[in-house]
Amino acid sequence: MTALHPSCVRVNEIIEAAGIAGRVRILPEAAPTAQSAADQVGVEVGAIANSLIFRTASDRPLLVMTSGAHRVDTKVVAEVIGEKIGRADADFVRRHTGQPIGGVAPVGHPTPITTLIDEDLAQFPELWAAGGIPHAVFPLTFDELVALTGGTVTRVA
């Protein structure tokens, strides 16, 4: 058996400590999109909890956990947090999360990141989130995602 990537190990440690039953699962192929993750896991795309890092106007990271079924509306999110947001490049994402774009987990970052959670994710009994690398995902419930991240549930699309 191959050893898990250190980012996946860290995510597993955090979710285990939080009492979450699911563990990081390595997919046969990278899942750079919510649809590719959904296809490999066998769920509808809306049950994929995408981890998207944005750069705020004050140059801080913002993590938005959104349903794979839609896109984040940056104007809506800017109203929620009280400042404009924009795309974060790969270097910014890696610096603030320690993880690559396409594999950013909701946890396991060097320092806590302000997190918003898409209210639409609540409709799914089981969610799947990235596990720290593009080939990794793990299952959890909406309530577990909220508790794990300390995120604010809101409309993001």
Determine the average pLDDT of the residues in 111-133: 97
Contact between residue 14 and residue 98 where contact means Cβ atoms under 8 Å apart: no
CA–CA gap between residue 92 and residue 81 (Å, rounded): 19
- Torsion-angle region of residue 132: left (phi > 0), alpha (psi -120 to 50) or beta? left
**Which of 106, 99, 115 is CA-nearest to residue 63?**
115
Determine the average pLDDT of the residues in 61-82: 97
Q: What is the pLDDT of residue 1?
A: 52
Q: How many domains does the chain have?
A: 1
In a domain, 54, yes or no: yes
Considering the entire predicted model, what is its pTM?
0.95
Q: What is the pLDDT of residue 60?
A: 98
How does the average pLDDT of the chain come out, rounded? 96
Residue 94: pLDDT over 70: yes
Confidence of residue 112 (pLDDT cuts 50, 70, 90): very high
In a domain, 117, yes or no: yes
Determine the average pLDDT of the residues in 146-156: 97
Q: What is the pLDDT of residue 3?
A: 81
Determine the average pLDDT of the residues in 81-105: 96
Confidence of residue 64 (pLDDT cuts 50, 70, 90): very high
pLDDT, tens digit, 9 for 90 and up, residues 33-59: 899 999 999 999 999 999 999 999 999
**Which of 141, 55, 157, 43 is CA-nearest to residue 101?**
55
Residue 2: pLDDT over 90: no
Domain containing residue 31: CATH number: 3.90.960.10
Residue 136: pLDDT over 90: yes
CA–CA gap between residue 153 and residue 140 (Å, rounded): 16
CA–CA gap between residue 106 and residue 129 (Å, rounded): 7
In a domain, 1, yes or no: no
Q: Is 6 helix (H, G, I), strand (E, B) or coil?
A: helix
What is the domain extent for residue 87?
6-154
pLDDT, tens digit, 9 for 90 and up, residues 17-27: 999 999 999 99
Q: Is 51 helix (H, G, I), strand (E, B) or coil?
A: strand
**Which of 64, 33, 42 is CA-nearest to residue 51?**
64
